[in-house]
A and B are shown apart, each in its own frame.
Chain A
Amino acid sequence: MKGITYLTNATELKFLKENLIDQVIIEPISLSRLGKLSIDEVNALAKDASENGIKTYLEWDILMVEDNFISSLEEFKKIDLTYISALRVQDPGALLWCLENTDLDIHLNLETGNHNLRGINSWLDTNRSRITRIILSIEWSQQQLKDLLPKVDCEVEFLGMGRILLFYTPRYLLKSGLSESEAALEMKDTNHWIEASGQSEESPHKGFPLLENKHGTFMFLPSDHCLLDHHKELTDLGIKHLRIDNRFMDESLERVVYQFLKSPLEESFDRIKELSPQRLIRGFFNTNKSDVLFKKLKNHRIQRIDENYLGQILEVNKKNYLALKLKNPVRHLTCGAKLRLITPDGKEKKLEVQRLQDCQGTDLETATGEDLVFINHVGGISVKAAVYFDEI
């Protein structure tokens, strides 16, 4: 498994080379979410990297509305692709354009969603010879990766260590909360780059890193993703490239991280934890149960579930009547019918229909379709109870 990281200036090249990093991502400010490099800097860095035997991949990971797409293309065309080994894209529009207008390899970013084999294969089928790497979401669990990777005929990259992006919007949310003078102060060092941290009394998490730049606003988790101590498992799973997101690391941490990749010793991992600016977590790597709470989000007892379903109780008038909204277009309700009623809290009651009336109080022999009928009362029933014919 090979490491991959971001290159932001020429002085890092020697350091990366020393640490056996032979592939880097470069990010132009105009095309990359967190890019800080001008086109001239990108061209110069790519050349330098290439001359140092390091492969350079160009990050074009912003999402683009039509007008932005056109302006991004103008910027893209200024880049000297001679020293670029692959293009990294997420927007399907960028993917298609790159496939049709360049002959470079594509590293396809599938980190947003894409949690099934069929979808991944469909992305790859777009052009299997050109899409030479996919970058998977860190929401894939170890077991899911174990099932998936033997069936994926493409190199896979996974985030080994770095910030967890939670939110990406094109709107400028941080600047808008400041006065002009405050905004000018916050942005004084760079061209539209504001950093902050946020916390809410409604969330148990504190200190969400926030960032605004020309591409919009980004929010990150206050803990960083780290699977370095699962290095061996990741290798065994078949992950070929482990990304170290060094963009928010200082050099001392970065050095220990690369050292760990070369020689994964427990004490150096302890040192990584010490030096990390945020708590380190494994995210969903051990298990992803982010759908288990769904069954608690609503009451399934009041849903109609079979052909014996008759309708729903709309009103309960104690000792007098139950108002029943029929919802079975096929079955008829008649006096003498035996019913089973299930309340929203799961209680079950039985009832024999002895009285069947319409809204005028007229006795009915039968009712069907969407009729609203009034039947005799039975205790313990509440509004929204589901009503079934009591049949085996």
Chain B
Amino acid sequence: MKNIPELLSPAGSLDKLKIAILYGADAVYCGGQKFGLRTASDNFTEAELREGVLFAHERNSKVYVVLNGFLHDEDLEELPSFLRLLEEIKVDAVIVSDLGVIETVKNNCNVPVHLSTQASCLNTESARFWKSKGVERVVLGREVTLKEAKKIKEEADIEVEVFVHGSMCMAYSGNCTISNYTQGRDSNRGGCAHSCRFEYSIDYKGGAQTKSTFMSSKDLEGVALLPEFVHSGVDSIKVEGRMKGPHYAGTITKIYADALKELSLEGEISKESLAYYDSELMKVTHRDYSSASLGAPAGADSIYNEREHDEKEYEVSGVVADLVEGEFILLEVRHAFYVGDELELLPFKGKSQPFRASSVLNFIGEVREKTKPGELVKIPWISGAEKLNLVRRRLAL
């Protein structure tokens, strides 16, 4: 099948960038220490950006850097030197939502500009407007259907990127200032406090009363709609989630990369594969899935009527930090597990491999009955393991 879109994954840190690329991302997006919308994320220092771009380009992947805050004049003063760095290290594009930032980019470097979803580009005329300002790609608002995305791409003659997976703003992106006024944190410069996820008591004027998380959106999930993404001709499909962990970055990227590959080779995604991808998606912490507005405008069933909780089916036990082929894997433990626990290795290619951690030793050979987050342990060799593979564990629910 032709026109397979680029798979664009989140990279909240250098580790996550590498994991996403190794698990199949065609491109990743990440932020520097300023100018983006994820201030609390690790983000990248200059050295990490250099290393990340090099790592990506060596593997034919691209790196886009987000500069999508609604920047104030004083923020813009520091931007030109950062832009020159991005050009020097050959970043593939910057993702921008503010016209002042676009102007600053255009005046200081030749890095292509993608319009962030934060600018809520929703229609053809809007895409034409942004194109006239020098934008090469628009990341459409998450309210746009795939049918509309197709029309926008064709009629505005511009590259189009559409979200395929991840958390959703309930508001039109860029049109929420709850944090600004209630927490003193500018949500459009990276300080979003996620007030939309709170539970609210609602008193209706007519007398009805309810209590719910009425402003909380279910997560977007579009694996079953991938053939329609391809049909729409969109250039890139994007996974949300720079704040999320390596398990998310690796697993979600792998699912979509495998599904796109199947679509490319077979022209369709089989029912069996779809069931497998769905089961894999369920292993990642999420808020219930919805196709949101991909097919038709999101309805009442897109509201996540639960308070945030930490219940999850799987957690990442560790990341392969080093290995000696045929002998052992050195695992950097992220969540504790016991000797004998059933674990799964998630290889870069192919299905997950279940195994039992029959022995666990630390670096100096001491037996560990229970591991602790932050320690490095040796577990027996698993065929096919590679550095930065994820190892996960099913939790008892």
Contact = CB atoms under 8 A, between A and B. Distances in A.
Q: Which of A198, A289, A292, A361 has the most CB of B within 10 A?
A: A198
Interface in B369-387: 374-376, 378
B124 to A, nearest CB: 6
A320 B78 CA distance: 45
Interface in B187-214: 188-191, 195-196, 198-208, 210, 212, 214
Given A178-B208, A210-B202, A314-B321, A122 B300 contact: no
A178 B148 contact: no
A173 B214 contact: yes
Interface in B220-235: none
Given A168-B175, A169-B172, A317 B51 contact: no
A97 B204 contact: no
Contacts of A305: 45
A135 interface: no
Interface string A124-160: 0010000000000001000010011000000000000
Contacts of A314: 321, 332, 374, 376
Give the dominant DSSP class at A's interface: mixed
A265 interface: no
B191 A290 contact: yes
A200 B172 contact: no
A113 interface: yes
Given A122-B99, A298-B40, A372 B184 contact: no
Nearest to A73: B125
B178 interface: yes
Given A122-B102, A139-B186, A315-B363, 6 more contacts: A118-B99, A176-B214, A176-B299, A194-B206, A201-B199, A298-B39
A177 B126 contact: no
- Give 4 nearest A-B pairs by CB, closest first: A119-B100, A93-B125, A113-B70, A93-B126
Contact of A116 (B72, B303, B323): B72
Interface string A90-116: 011111110000000000000011111
Interface of B: 14, 33, 39-42, 45, 47-48, 51, 54, 70-73, 75-76, 97-104, 120-130, 132-133, 141, 143-145, 148, 151-152, 170-172, 174-178, 180-186, 188-191, 195-196, 198-208, 210, 212, 214-215, 217, 293, 297-300, 302-303, 321-324, 327, 330, 332, 362-364, 374-376, 378
B99 A297 contact: no
B345 to A, nearest CB: 18
B170 A304 contact: no
A185 interface: yes
A60 to B, nearest CB: 12
A258 interface: no
Given A171-B170, A298-B39, A317-B362, A65 B100 contact: no
A110 B323 CA distance: 55
Contacts of B72: 115-116, 144, 288, 291
A185 B207 CA distance: 9
B295 to A, nearest CB: 13
A262 B255 CA distance: 65
A196 B170 CA distance: 18
B303 A171 contact: yes
Given A122-B100, A122-B102, A200 B180 contact: no
Contacts of B330: 359, 372
Nearest to A306: B47
Contacts of A69: 122-125
Contacts of B75: 116
Interface string A285-328: 00011111110011000011101010000110100110101011
Contact of A96 (B51, B126, B198): B126
B124 A186 contact: no
A164 interface: yes
Given A176-B214, A203-B195, A148 B73 contact: yes
